[in-house]
Amino acid sequence: MNVRHILTGWLAAAMCATTLAAQQGKTAYKPAKTPWGDPDLQGTYTNKDESGIPFERPSQFAGKTAADVDDAELRELIAERSQAALERAPGVGGIDTGAGPTHWYENYGAKNSRPWLVIDPADGVIPPLTAEGRQRAAAAAAARRGNGFDVGPFDGPEDLSLYDRCITRGLPGSMMPAIYGNSYEIVQSPGWAAIRYEMVHETRLIPLDNRPHLKSDMKSYMGDPRGHFEGNTLVVETTNFKPNSIYRGGSESLKLIERFTPTAAKIVQWSVTVDDPHTWARPWTFAMNLTRDNSQQIFEYACHEGNYGLRDILSAERAAEKNGTAGAARGRGGVE
């Protein structure tokens, strides 16, 4: 691991938080403390206002950093993104799909906090893959069958993604904006923090007592998290991901370093440093805002692998095979 690159990513996240505080006319925000003395991050949050932000720097801003995009340009971008979301609405949750009226969906009128998400490297572009990473990506593409919205063949549940199967959105996917279900609850107790996700109904339990990571052969879909506070920032390092839930086709050496930094009374900046020398030329970091809204309720996510959605995707593929149109069946399994 290149320590300089990791430090650069952390510095970029800290600078972004400092810039936001300055824009709000404030010095570094000091959150309340829990009864046992940790910074109090508890509450229900949403990232719906970050919906529509490009992950990497758009080509129209080539040669610029995020700091070069002024307030007027950002307002114009936000207006363009909102209009595009409205134009897509019929195909997402309206008459075209039967997935419910558009007002069910949370991401219209999003008040984006930034022009793009990647904050390190400063050019907003994910570093190139290593030779090993390219080889692994090519092998995965050659072996790929149905996955998510890809065309099948869907010969069995294993041909669909873990998200389609209502098992997990993984990490950091579980924190990323979606068309609905964008609520997250943070709960703390002495020596522990927990994050509960509305979509796919998962809860991460994060020990804060300096215990070592599990042995490398003990893996899970959401990995093995270990947390600590650096000042007011909750830092969570997660390793030990199952191979089929590793982020962006990374290797089993993948380490994700999340930083939850309160920057205002209702804002926590969440940044993620992706560290995997077997996949990318250097570590890289992206960030977005979580907005606390304790009036929000985390609703039941009534989806599981036995739901009719997955069954119907597979039965539709069998019908398509009989009609000579195999591969035509597609969709999000289990959506109620």
Distance between terminal CA atoms of the chain? 43
What is the Cα–Cα distance from 155 to 317, expressed in whole angstroms? 8
CA-to-CA distance for 218 and 240, rounded, in angstroms?
7
Predicted confidence (pLDDT) at residue 278 exceeds the cutoff of 90: yes
pLDDT band at 303 (very low <50, low <70, confident <90, very high): confident
pLDDT at 25: 39
**Are 333 and 313 a contacting pair, CB within 8 Å?**
yes
Residue 296 has pLDDT above 60, yes or no: yes
Asked if 108 and 102 count as a contact pair (C-beta separation under 8 A), the reply is yes
DSSP annotation of 113: S
Can you give the pLDDT at residue 254?
98
Q: What is the pLDDT of residue 117?
A: 97
Global pTM?
A: 0.84
Residue 67: which of 26, 116, 21 has the closest Cα? 116
pLDDT digits (tens, 9 = 90+) for 308-333: 888 888 888 889 888 887 654 444 43
pLDDT digits (tens, 9 = 90+) for 59-99: 989 999 999 999 999 999 888 888 877 777 666 655 555 56
Mean pLDDT of 155-166: 86
Residue 311, classed as helix, strand or coil, is: helix
pLDDT at 306 over 80: no
Rg (CA), the chain: 21
233: DSSP letter? E
